[in-house]
Amino acid sequence: MPQSQVRLAANRYGKSRVRVMRVTKHEQHHDLDEWTVQILLTGDFEEAHTVGDNTNILPTDTMKNTVYFVARESKAQSIEDYAKELVNYILTRNPQVTDVQVAIESHLWKRLTIDGKPYPTAFMRGSDERQTTIVSREPGKAFQIRSGFDHLTVLKTAQSGFSGYIKDSLTTLPETTDRLFGTALQADWPYRDNAIAEGIDFNKVRKHLRETMISTFAKHDSLSVQQTLYAMAQAALGHTDIIDEVHMLMPNKHNLLVDMARFGRDNPNHIFVPTDEPHGTIEATVQRA
């Protein structure tokens, strides 16, 4: 049977899950960063696919080493600025590349408290929360930067209910005006081009947007996850003018009320079973009008 006529469409390749631990030593203390880096290249790679010619292929092992080398030379204080350095390093040395995308997750470490004070050179791993960024650039064009955070696990024990929804023959969920509301929040936002060109304190912006969203989550009288998601995004957009949209993913991490009647006791929203699976998935992008 003759081979079908085909052509190569969109393609890219790179190195994923390159892990870096960076220690920055100051006179009185050390700083610690742990990053997981992904590099993806788009460019003139057709002959590598069609005839096995690797002339234009930068080995992914070289990309891994580039992550370490640039980290060694970097003075960046944010994952965004480090990603920009990494993008520029690859672009300036690889004319066959038409786009570089670098995605970074930063894992949280905090100082140990010893004798009531933060210890300068000892740390403990924080929560599963991660700071995130995706930075890309084509030769001769401006950076595109999308930042955020992921796995921010929060829960409130008041000001949350769910009622008035569709009920059919398969509905067993009872209405409630008093439930636990837990989620592992993912949020990200693209920065305006002019803001990137003028310069951004990425760490400061992320911190303030995170605090704004958390504050809204805690204080909001929630009638649904959707309503609280919208309120959190609205508050974030009201906090700064250097972003025009926020994408949010909020799984509804259920806490199921235990039926204590079989034990002859009541359960006034006191004892629950936390469960991750299955969970509700609520996702939306909120933009300026």
Q: How many CB atoms lie within 10 A of CB 207?
A: 13
In angstroms, the CA 212 to CA 201 distance is 17
Place of tokens 């050179």: 121
For the record, the structure tokens of 173 come out as 């969920």
* 139 beta partners: none
Are 94 and 41 in contact, with CB atoms under 8 Å apart?
A: yes
* 93: CB partners within 8 A, 6+ apart: none
Nearest-angstrom CA–CA distance, 97 and 144 = 16
Q: Which pLDDT does position 1 carry in this prediction?
A: 61
Task: Locate the domains of the chain by residue range.
Answer: 10-141, 151-289
Contacts of 258 (CB under 8 A, 6+ apart): 267, 271, 272, 273
DSSP 244: S
What positions carry a catalytic annotation? 15, 60, 254
The answer to whether 10-141 and 151-289 have equal CATH topology is yes
Helix (H) or strand (E) holding 214: helix 202-219
Query: Which stretch of DSSP H or E encloses residue 85?
Result: helix 79-93
- Cβ count near 161 (within 10 Å): 16
Compute φ and ψ for 144, nearest 5 degrees: -110, 125
Query: pLDDT of the chain along its 289 residues, tens only?
Result: 667 899 999 999 999 999 999 999 999 999 999 999 999 999 999 999 999 999 999 999 999 999 999 999 999 999 999 999 999 999 999 999 999 999 999 999 999 999 999 999 999 998 999 999 999 999 999 999 999 999 999 999 999 999 999 999 999 999 999 999 999 999 999 999 999 999 999 999 999 999 999 999 999 999 999 999 999 999 999 999 999 999 999 999 999 999 999 999 999 999 999 998 999 999 999 999 9
pLDDT for residue 4: 82
User: Would you state the pLDDT for residue 78?
Assistant: 97
Tell whether domain 10-141 is in CATH 3.10.270.10: yes
pLDDT at 171 (0 to 100): 97
Tokens coding 16: 């994923």
The DSSP symbol for 140 reads T
Q: How high is the pLDDT of residue 3?
A: 73
Please give the CATH topology (third level) of the domain spanning 151-289.
Urate Oxidase (3.10.270)
